[in-house]
Amino acid sequence: MDILSWDGTLSSGDFRLAACAFMQKWKSVMSAFPPWSWVPCPKQPWGASASHDVEGYLSLENIILRSIEEEHDEISCPQKEETSCSEKEELIDIATLVQSNCSKVPYYDLHIIYSASYRVPVLFFRAYYSDGEPLGFNAIEKDLPAHSAKALLDSKWTFITQEEHPYLNRPWFKLHPCGTSEWMKLLFHVDVSVAKNGVTIELYLLSWLSVVGQVVGLRIPLEMLNQP
């Protein structure tokens, strides 16, 4: 698509294509981590018409975001000496093991759902402890890493609301999509290769999550952004 005429949105069919491309790239680059999966569901969200061809959503569940972020940092330390890197890896493994055995470590479920109204993806999420006790918004804010809290505070595009999950009919938190199309167009507009070759649908979700994921503590590693 031509970047000058593109409005920053996706069709429902393009969302499905972007989802497949994103799952494949995540599995290829992030093979050590739980995979994103497509959850098929015939119910149409947000009053979409019967012709709506998105019958499901992307899901990543039961994850400890903090331990994933620590392991990302470990993967990204090639400049350090091998012995130092190994020692750090051992410490991270111990810390992750301790966290996983602690009943008060928050687990997160992340769902990426297509909004027929805004014609963009929307991130729904919830957090809970291993005993099933859910986290309220204040507790989630305290659990977020400092850079996530700052991203949420500084961003004029993003804010969190609590609404009914369109497929599960239970209250979940979501990042409101009202400004998504605007900042996605800006994001692609400043990319020289996109300006030259046009918008690549397969890169849409990856670029989108590289921004949105930071708000909930999920950072996309450079390996995924740089790999062709």
What does the block give as tokens for 99? 């966290």
Catalytic pick from 20, 77, 102, 178? 178
Is 85 among the residues known to form the active site? no
What are the residue numbers of the active site? 178
